[in-house]
Structure 1
Amino acid sequence: MPPIVADSCDAGQLTSPPGVSAESSAHSPSSDLNHNPHTGVIPTPRAGRADLQELFLRLSPRLSVRVDTKNSSGQWQHKYVERRLPDRAPRGPYAVYLSSFFRRFRWICFDLDTKRGDVGPDLATLLRWVEEAGLTYVVAASGSAGGRHVWVAAETLLDDQLVKSIAVAAAKRLPTLDYGLLKSRTGAVRPIGAPHRNGGRSELMSPQDPRRAAALLTPASCGNASDAFVRLLLIIDAVPAAVDVRPLIVGQDQLGEVIDDDGPRLAGTPKTALDRETMALLTRRPPADRVSEVCGSLLTKLALRRWSQPMVARLLEDRRYREGGLLHLCTSPAVRPLRVLLTEAEVEKKFERQWERCVAYAARLPIPQEALEWTESLADAVAQVEQLQAAADACPERWATESGPADRAALDLFCLLALRSGSAVLSLDVRRAALATGYGRSTMHRAFGRLQLDNWLGNSEEDSGPAGTYELLPVTASHPAFILSAGGGTQRNLPPEGGNRTTLTSHLEKRLAAGQADLFGYGRATENHAGGLGHHAGRVYQQLVLHGDRALSLAELCEHTGYSARTVSKHLGRMQTLLVATRAVMTVHHECPTCQAVPGERCRTAAGAVHRRRGADQHTTRQTLAAGRSGAPYYRSRPGALVAAAQALGCHGVTASRARRYAVEIELYRWWQQEEEWMRAPKAGIRTGVQTHQEQTALVLTTLARQPRRRYPRTADCRGDHAAARARIERRIATA
């Protein structure tokens, strides 16, 4: 075990990096102490250049580094082991620790990984936050394709709780940020200049001068005080999280309710019987590189099954489980593959912390189908949705009108949400409805109104959601769906109750997913947007997808959609041109109307012998039937060609651009609401900035009275400048 190094060394006592001029470090009051407190070696500055790898090794907060190992074939296997701090940089991939043995950080390194998404927008957003906080930074290419490392040094060692809070807050707003290394005691990063296992090195990008970068990475010359990191946390927390993590509806059972009785747990009856996957995670010993990942997945599954903290604690009493999926709770990582056993007190403390985190994460997940209990309210919701869908399918002419596809998509979305939540009272925003159906927000707003006029929807008595709250109305004998013309429709009988909830949910998901494609998002091409096939063509395509197990004839498509044969043929012809739909060749056996022979059997005479007349083994009626059926066209869908067809028409990406535009509008409205709330609030005695007591020497983040307010842009006459606010939001969330 390496010797324990005291954590009281002041960063200001460290010398300037090699190659940095005396002027850049002359302001340090202790620049005469040019030695490493770990090794005691006095480094010799080298004129004219700065070796950043040597700088990181000299300023390392620990006496060890992590070095990659090779497999039997001589390739780097991305498995790092701990080695003593070397005098020179290793030739292979290696990483330096960010914190000391006592978990106090010398650097904060934001690792933006291309595996998680586009790094460019997140990098611009992160650098804007760092500059607003008044911090200096160094940007480096991590060595992988497109990855970036943003290094921020600190004058004094930072507390791990502050660094963890910054990492968690930034990860909620930057999808590409890998924040695990800032939360772990063993977090380490490859320094600038270190080689990558796939070739290449971590290269300096900004600033381009290595000597300037060395000055910014040195605690004595970086100029980053500890209070600047507190400002960074406040700036990050002031930015709302991404829109896609917000729930789609505000109804019951959409988010898990966390209750606290002998520890946090999700509300509901615990399901003690575990499935095979959960039992496999619990009993099998996880791989050495996935110990924490398996434990987190297992605890999340148990939380979703409504287990309580004492129930999981009893699992820790069994040795099989302590050496299986719960190994992470009983040990701490050491030099792989070894792990250090923890004491019972440490195990209990670690288990409480991990369980609280996993329960909070499980509460934000959508409730799976098997986790939602079959209650009386859920049974009523399933029966009501089944009746509504049967009534809607009974009058296809209602959805064949100009606004019919949008109305049916809105109705299907409400039915799908009712199946998922188990409630007929739903709160749905028109913008989120538009993104879920592939229409615009104005179209969805008008569709909601038409459904209310036709008694499909009704206003809820308790309108407490952020948007209009609606209620699915039950189907009655006087419903407009049953008042049809004499030419067709139902027989005025209510659909039967009951049905399969899983089948209904899958059916509605397929229908909405097919209509949401960019190919059917627009009609005719204009100066403002590219032309697609239109939502009426989307309704025809939906039927092909819903009946994917067999081909549909032209007559069946007309019956399901309510369109005329000419309209269906027009849409099918355009889809055939784009290879979205194909004409199927029906090679089947037919029954015989004369001798009642089943498909696959030969025709027989009245005496029972095989009918053979002039070489033919079929009656004339059977041949006529086969010829008539072979002449009828049948069609199938090709879902894999939707993206290519949309790109060919120039309408690919319209849904994504609409989502970005709606995200800006939602954030703009929320910002203006905060501004109005601030304008109406009393102003007497208001102070800006961080507020602390006069005798308070240490800043405690949990006792901050308020966060700094973001000032809304104003015009010359002090009115709200919404155009400037929109431009700022677009730059902030990187949607331009």
Structure 2
Amino acid sequence: MSRGAGAHSPSSARTHNPHTGVLPLFEVAQVDLQALFLELSPRASIRVDTRSGDGEWLHSYKARPLPETAPYGPYAVHLADRLDRFRWVCFDLDSSKGDTGPDLATLLRWLEEAGLTYVVAASGSAGGRHVWVTSAEPLEAVLVASVARAAALRLPTLDHGLLCNPATGAVRPIGAAHRDGGKSQLQAPLDQRRAADLLTPASCGNVSDAFVRLALIIDSVPAPATVRPRIVREQQVAEILDDELGPRLAGTPNTALDDETWALLTRRPADDRVSETLASLLGRLALRRWTWPMVERLMDERRHREGGLLHACTSTRRRGLRIVLTDTQAREKLRRQWERCVAYAATLPLTEDSLEWTETIADVVALVEQLQAAADACPERWADKAGPADRAALDLRCLYALRSGVTVLDLDVRRAAVSAGHGRSTMHRAQNRLTLDGWLAARDTDGPAGTHELLPVTAAHPGFTLVAQGGTQGTPPPLGEVRRFLISRLQERLSAGQADVFAYGRATEHHGGGLGHHAARVYQQLIEHADRPLSLSEVCARTGYAPRTAVKHLTAMRNLMVVTRAVMAVQHECPTCQALPGERCRTATGTVVRRRGADQHTARRTLAARRAGTPYYRPRPGSLLAAAKALGCFGVTASRARRYAVEIELYRWWRQEEEWMRTPKAGVRTGVQVNDEQAALVLTTLARQPRRRYPRTADGRGDHGAARARIERRIATA
């Protein structure tokens, strides 16, 4: 028999209800629970808190050999042994994350349904609770981690990190002191002998199958989306290197910091966001492929230590004050936080900054550059009736490929329609035409219905031209510059196509017709070459339109002051005397030509007159809004976006209703769950946001019209 279990005599007291919190009318047996934890410790060491120079606890636990008696200050016992097998499973409900009462009631109900015994203790902080569950046989770390992650998705106050880390996961035992004063106290059962039996593996009665049932019970409860909106990723999307430069993500470091990251580093954070600021800062630096020496050098400046690195350089003391750590302690703490943030950053999707320093983005940039060159080489392909929509769909997918770093994209037609300025049916047909022509490849079997892959340029494309540049013909621009140039160019082109003035359709009683998307294609070319005016011949060559069609669109835009005409007849060279622009014509003897009314040769005046008759055009971006209001089509894009938002929300609501209807209802208890003997206290376990019932008709069918009306009332009109 263990030391803790044999230190007391059998108790003849009656049992009590742990939920009521009413003290029994008898004396409970006194047992040294701290000695019991030390005797049953799965390891020959514990973790003890350290003190600062002025005697304050630093909340920095260090490994120490297992003592004979319990330490005076805060300490913690390990939950798992050296083989990473858990002896205890302790659920830590942290009051700083919210009210622990509802989560405690939910957790205890799960344990009772699984047939598990437990011990509840007040952790020492205001409102915090520890729920100890002992296993009769050691549990594998995979099973405990799955239970912890599933419970964390449904219990907002649960701190599940210690259950996912068998190497250092430790909890203060019952009776151990708290750094802010007080100690962990037993709450249920109040009989310490009974609590000692439940904490002892030989007498707890919790078999491993019961923990498997607990995992199934927790997974059967739907997790509210607002409780813990995070996704646990099992596989990393980025490679982690750990060499002489410390843990880091593979790739070339990007030392340039944007304004937001610089503000996080240099500004002092709020008192309640010190740790959050450090985690956000280190996560951004990890995504920029920083190394540990680069991060460590930030400690040399005072503004960094008092800014984003404040959490690493200080420790919270009693009454909310902060004490400054020594340089060695601060660097050790920063190293631990850096390792955690690098591991977390490896599970995140690639960002705009991190994409420029990866190896796969080079292939994506090269593919998009080839596709755009091939598309520009065949302007007649985009000049037919459906050409503008096809080119907008291609440009949109190229833009998303540059931003995400992948060529397989999931893009629904409604989001594509709003981004390109077309209708959803138009974008759907455009994607089909691009697939038939070999620009895209449908990947419906690998994902949602809108999943397509950008295909490389082949000889089958109408404008196929592949020019191989030799190694001595010049140095190509850096990858980052090419990517930024392509993103800027595609954004300008798609933004011009979204303008209300280029809305398609004739004017009716309820709709004001715009200039159309073919006029938008002409305007897009003027915007892309805003540094210089374009002649009519250049516009025709770049758009593929006939001169008569191009003049029609340019005239319509000139009437609305969207485009202006420029005259390029300022200075010209002289074909007779080869005088440069700005110089006067000279005779054969070198004297300046001085004729009545002119100082130029006749050939030069003829050249100036001929060039003056060639029209050049410039865009006026500031007049798009006024032109749309003049045509009566202002707000077409916003109205389309609102209509599609209603359709998306209606579809999502109905899918949730279908999922709820398919969920088995047998054995599911609804409403507030109360113990049979509980009368003084009622704790609700309902979700934070209850399910909204879908409107129904009299015969029980879904009333989609009423559902649409409700959604439209919730969405504000523009």
TM norm structure 1: 0.55
Instruction: Classify 1:590/1:494 alpha carbon distance in 2 versus 1 (closer, same or farther; 3 Å).
Output: same
In the alignment, is residue 368 of structure 1 matched against residue 340 of structure 2? no
Paired position in structure 2 for 1:44: none
Aligned 1:194-213 pairs, distance under 5 A: none
After superposition, give the CA deviation of every residue in 1:154-192 in whole Å (9 maximum; x if it has no partner): xxx999999x979xxxxxxxxxxxxxxxxxxxxxxxxxx
Alignment of 1:611-626 (within 5 A): 611-614=593-596, 616-626=598-608
Task: For residue 505 of structure 1, give the secondary structure of its aligned residue in structure 2.
Answer: helix
Q: Which residue of structure 1 lines up, in the alignment, with residue 654 of structure 2?
A: 672
Partner of 1:52: none
Q: 1-side partners of 2:578 and 2:511: how far apart? A: 58
Q: Name the counterpart of 1:545.
A: 527
Aligned equivalent of 2:436, options 453, 458, 466: 453
**Cα deviation, residue 237, structure 1:** 4.3
Question: Does the 8 Å contact 2:355/2:361 carry over to 1?
Answer: no
For 2:438, give the aligned amino acid: N
CA contact (8 A) 1:521 1:535 kept: yes
Taking the aligned partners of 1:530 and 1:621, their CA distance within structure 2 comes to 51
In structure 1, distance between residues paired with 2:394 and 2:97 = 55
Match of 1:428 among 411, 414, 423: 411
| Of 399, 402, 409, the match for 1:416 | 399
Q: Which amino acid aligns with 2:366?
A: A
Q: Is structure 2 residue 363 aligned with structure 1 residue 391? A: no
How many angstroms does 1:440 deviate by?
Answer: 0.9
Alpha-carbon spacing, 1:584–1:365, altered in 2? closer, same or farther (3 Å): farther
How far apart are the structure 2 equivalents of 1:666 and 1:353?
40
Deviations 1:651-686 (A, max 9, x none): 222222222221221222122222222333333212
CA deviation digits over 1:323-348, x for unaligned, max 9? 344346656999xxx98546689999
Following the alignment from structure 2 to structure 1, what is the Cα–Cα distance between the partners of residues 98 and 316?
Answer: 19
Note closer, same or farther for the CA distance 1:470–1:105 as it changes in structure 2 (3 Å cut). closer
Alignment of 1:624-643 (within 5 A): 624-643=606-625
CA distance in 1, matches of 2:305, 2:562: 54
Q: For the residues of structure 2 that align with 1:289 and 1:615, how far apart are their CA atoms?
A: 81
Contact 1:519–1:643 at 8 Å: present in 2 too?
A: yes
Match of 1:716 among 698, 702, 707: 698
Q: Distance in 2 between matches of 1:590 and 1:463?
A: 62
1:494 to 466, 489, 508: 466
Distance of aligned partners of 1:306 and 1:407 in 2 relative to their CA distance in 1, 3 Å threshold: same
Name 1:521's counterpart in structure 2.
503
Shift of 1:378: 2.7
Quick one: distance in 1 between partners of 2:403 and 2:258?
A: 25
Return closer, same or farther for 1:556/1:310 CA change in 2, 3 Å cut-off.
closer
C-alpha distance 598-312 of structure 1, shift in aligned 2 (>3 A): same
Q: Distance in 2 between matches of 1:560 and 1:512?
A: 17
Residues 35-434 of structure 1 aligned to structure 2 (within 5 Å): 237=225, 268-269=250-251, 271=253, 273-275=255-257, 298-299=281-282, 301-307=284-290, 312=295, 315=298, 321-327=304-310, 330=313, 340-341=322-323, 367-369=351-353, 371-375=355-359, 377-434=360-417
Offset of residue 709 of structure 1: 3.8
Question: Which residue in the other structure is 2:139 paired with?
Answer: none
1:480 is paired with a residue of what secondary structure? coil
Cα distance in 1 for partners of 2:324, 2:446 equals 49
Distance 1:372 1:271 in 2: 10
1:308/1:723 Cα in 2 relative to 1: closer, same or farther (>3 Å)? Answer: farther
Say which of 550, 567, 573 aligns to 1:591. 573
Contact kept, 8 Å, 1:590 with 1:599, in 2: the verdict is: yes
| 1:373 maps to amino acid | W
1:658 aligns with 2:645: no
Aligned residue type for 1:579: M
Amino acid at match of 1:440: G
Cα distance in 1 between the residues matched to 2:311 and 2:558: 56
Counterpart-to-counterpart distance in 2, 1:261 and 1:683: 50
Per-residue CA deviation, residues 342-373 of structure 1 (Å, 9 max, x unaligned), is: 66899999998999899989988872256432
What is the alpha-carbon distance in structure 1 between the residues aligned to residue 461 and residue 431 of structure 2?
17
For the pair shown, which has the larger CA radius of gyration, 1 or 2? 2
Other-structure match for 1:123? none
Q: Distance in 2 between matches of 1:419 and 1:366?
A: 11
The TM-score with structure 2 as length reference comes to: 0.57
- Structure 1 window deviating more from structure 2 (632-641 vs 346-355): it is 346-355
Alignment check: 8 A CA contact 1:104 1:158 kept: no
The code of the aligned residue for 1:436 comes to S
Question: Against the structure 1 CA distance between its residues 513 and 295, is the aligned structure 2 distance closer, same or farther, given a 3 Å change threshold?
Answer: same
Alpha-carbon deviation of 1:545?
A: 0.6
The alignment partner of 1:627 has SS state of helix
Question: Contact between 1:428 and 1:469, CA under 8 Å: does it hold in 2?
Answer: yes
* CA offsets 1:250-306 (integer angstroms, 9 cap, x no match): xxx9x98798999xx996437274559699658856599999698687446424314
Q: In structure 2, the residue corresponding to 1:713 is in which secondary structure?
A: coil
Instruction: Give the corresponding residue for 2:173.
Output: none
The aligned amino acid for 1:688 is: T
Q: Is the 8 A contact 1:540 1:557 kept in 2?
A: yes
SS at match of 2:446: coil
Partner amino acid, structure 2, of 1:578? L
**Which amino acid in structure 1 is aligned with residue 417 of structure 2?**
A
The corresponding residue for 2:561 is: 579
Q: Aligned in 2, Cα 1:623/1:535: closer, same or farther, shift over 3 Å?
A: same
Structure 2 residue ranges without an equivalent (≥5) = 1-94, 100-125, 130-151, 158-221, 470-475
Cα deviation 1:110-167 (Å, max 9, x = unaligned): xxxxxxxxxxxxxxxxxxxxxxxxxxxxxxxxxxxxxxxxxxxxxxx999999x979x
Gap change, CA 1:374 and 1:653, over 3 Å in 2: same
Once the two structures are TM-superposed, the CA of residue 623 in structure 1 deviates from its matched residue by: 1.1
| Alpha-carbon contact 1:406-1:444 (below 8 Å) kept | yes
| Root-mean-square deviation (Å) | 5.1
Secondary structure of 2:352's partner? coil
Aligned residue for 1:591, secondary structure, equals coil
Structure 2 distance, partners of 1:240, 1:103, is 15
Identity %: 60
The yes-or-no answer on 1:439 pairing with 2:422 is yes
Deviation readout 1:470-521 (Å, 9 max, x if unpaired): 1222222232345xxxxxxxxxx43557772222222111111111111112
Q: Counterpart of 1:627 in structure 2: which amino acid?
A: A
| Alpha carbons of structure 1 residues 455 and 587: separation in structure 2 relative to 1, 3 Å | same
- AA partner of residue 707 (structure 2): A
Measure how far apart 1:416 and its partner are.
1.5
Q: 1:238 to 1:408 in 2, by over 3 A?
A: same
C-alpha separation between the residues in 1 aligned to 2:572 and 2:674? 87
Change (3 A) 1:283 1:515: closer
For structure 1, which runs of at least 5 residues remain unmatched after alignment?
A: 1-101, 107-156, 167-233, 247-252, 483-492
Corresponding residue of 1:505:
487
Q: Relative to structure 2, which stretch is displaced further, 311-320 or 428-437?
A: 311-320
Assess if the C-alpha contact under 8 Å between 2:269 and 2:307 holds in 1: no
Q: Once the 2 structures are TM-superposed, how far is the Cα of residue 557 of structure 1 from its aligned partner?
A: 1.4
